[in-house]
């Protein structure tokens, strides 16, 4: 991915449904017309023995290092279709929380803690570790269930991830990936959970030949079926890139091949992961993709709003660009039909590789985003 999904797992932290912050949706969007794809970043959780370890819009931005099942025939339901009484889960382990705890006297701590560390964010699983992924996923879903909250998990281990870019890695082949997905699904539990399935895996397939793309799409369709069969309350979303990448009809055609139009494998699409495009632009784009995709009427979209408060920079810059800001707070209450949630998939402050090592937390970058 031009900006590959960060190799770091963003840990989710839950407080209740949060009031949306202003995200700069008013005014014209000055972004350029190029389709540069930023690298993916997010807080990667690396599982410890008991907990998961402490990782796209254009392609997602660099990922950090991690720390710490509906039935196939059911009709997909949209989280935003009815009043939501549950709130998102904030995982108690993340790079930003580690930094806040270790620097109580730093003058930046109060701002970073209140505007970033207190928000629920996604937990990324980026390591190909089939023997431990079940327990790592279960640690997150069990923690969320104990609080009556909804965790957001990012599955990020598809072979040829990021087309060999900064977030390269993943399973050695598609057979191994199938086993990894089976193990991932085994940890989902029985409560509500949102799964962001493989950022950039559909929008960015330039490095694959026709047979390779077909095989990847088949693997993604299977992954969705496995996840939803394992937990009937799981909501699985597929990669739609972002509003400045592929045209809606083009992206919808790719999504359909990957199973995103089937209620047996999909609840809809996600966009703007690790990117900066404005919420209004993403919502308009996502609705056009959904219209072109077809499928059951319950399919919806989720948008990564973690760093899009000031919109995307001109010129397609994706690597820790200056002048950006955090966007709307994570919530299921978007107020817009078919837009199921605003999520923080990429944790603000985790570098794309320019203001720090890819996927690592940069307090100066976090403070810049939180105070802009």
CB 7 within 8 A of CB 169: yes
Nearest to 205 by CA among 246, 244, 155: 246
Q: Give dist(CA 167, CA 45) in Å, integer.
A: 15
Strand partners, 343: 304
d(CA 343, CA 70): 21
**Residue 1, number of CB atoms within 10 A of its CB:** 35
Q: In Å, what is the CA distance from 132 to each residue of 51, 55, 138, 197?
A: 10, 18, 10, 19
Distance of alpha carbon 274 from alpha carbon 55, whole angstroms:
9
Give 195's strand partners: 153, 236
In the numeric block, which tokens belong to residue 365?
Answer: 């970058």
Positions marked catalytic: 162, 200, 352
Separation of alpha carbons 14 and 238, rounded Å: 23
Residue 346 DSSP symbol: S
44: helix, coil or strand? strand
Residues near 64 by beta carbon (within 8 Å), at least 6 away in sequence: 6, 7, 8, 9, 10, 41, 42, 43, 44, 55, 95, 124, 347, 350, 351, 358, 359, 360, 361
């Amino acid at each position: 991915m031009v900006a590959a999904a960060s190799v770091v797992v963003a840990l989710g932290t839950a407080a209740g449904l949060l009031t949306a912050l202003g995200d700069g949706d008013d005014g014209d969007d000055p972004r350029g017309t190029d389709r540069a794809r930023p690298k993916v970043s997010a807080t990667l959780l690396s599982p410890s023995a008991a907990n998961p370890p402490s990782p796209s819009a254009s392609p997602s931005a660099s990922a950090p290092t991690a720390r710490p099942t509906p039935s196939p025939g059911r009709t997909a339901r949209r989280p935003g279709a009815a009043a939501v009484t549950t709130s998102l889960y904030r995982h108690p382990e993340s790079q930003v929380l580690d930094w806040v705890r270790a620097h109580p006297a730093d003058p930046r701590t109060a701002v970073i803690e209140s505007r970033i560390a207190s928000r629920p964010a996604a937990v990324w699983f980026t390591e190909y570790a089939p023997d431990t992924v079940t327990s790592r996923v279960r640690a997150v879903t069990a923690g969320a269930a104990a609080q009556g909250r909804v965790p957001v998990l990012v599955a990020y281990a598809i072979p040829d991830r990021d087309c060999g870019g900064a977030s390269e890695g993943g399973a050695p082949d598609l057979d191994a990936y199938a086993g990894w997905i089976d193990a991932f699904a085994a940890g989902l539990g029985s409560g509500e959970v949102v799964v962001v399935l493989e950022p950039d895996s559909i929008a960015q397939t330039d490095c694959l030949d026709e047979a390779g793309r077909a095989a990847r799409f088949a693997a993604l369709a299977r992954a969705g079926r496995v996840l939803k069969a394992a937990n009937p309350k799981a909501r699985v979303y597929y990669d739609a890139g972002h509003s400045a990448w592929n045209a809606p009809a083009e992206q919808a055609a790719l999504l359909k091949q990957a199973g995103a139009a089937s209620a047996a494998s999909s609840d809809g699409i996600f966009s703007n992961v690790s990117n900066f495009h404005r919420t209004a632009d993403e919502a308009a784009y996502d609705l056009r993709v959904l219209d072109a995709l077809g499928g059951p009427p319950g399919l919806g979209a989720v948008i990564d709003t973690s760093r899009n408060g000031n919109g995307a920079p001109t010129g397609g810059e994706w690597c820790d660009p200056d002048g950006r800001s955090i966007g709307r707070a994570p919530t299921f209450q978007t107020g817009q039909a078919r837009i199921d949630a605003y999520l923080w998939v990429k944790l603000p402050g985790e570098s794309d590789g320019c203001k720090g090592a890819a996927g690592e937390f940069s307090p100066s970058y976090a403070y810049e985003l939180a105070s802009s």
